[in-house]
Structure 1
Amino acid sequence: MGIFDRFRGHGQDKAKEMSDVAEKKVNEKTGDKYTEQVDDAQQRIEGAAGLKRDRPDQP
């Protein structure tokens, strides 16, 4: 089972929560060195998984 299947197998709220936890853990492991790249990757994964969320513009 791939990561996209895991997102689709849960409700939208749970999938978003899992995505946020994964982003936080990656940022912790990398010392927040790649936060922009991690956020971009998270948005792409969520888009591919069909998750929609309102995101404020980031600086």
Structure 2
Amino acid sequence: MEGFILKLEKEKELEEKYFNFLKTEQGRKWKDSWINRLSSDVAGDFGDYLYDFYPEMLA
């Protein structure tokens, strides 16, 4: 149970980093590349961020 709680805390921390990242020029370019790649406005969401930058969180 403790491991699960730690993962949730880490996820919350990374979600905050994700929203701050989207405010940067690099973050906007990253999101635009996902949108262009998938032709979807929901591309580049938090799950995509984890996939690209923190894949170990998806395991």
Provide TM-score, normalisation by structure 2.
0.45
TM-score normalized by the length of structure 1: 0.45
Bigger proportion of residues as helix: 2
Higher relative contact order (CA 8 A, sep 6+): 1
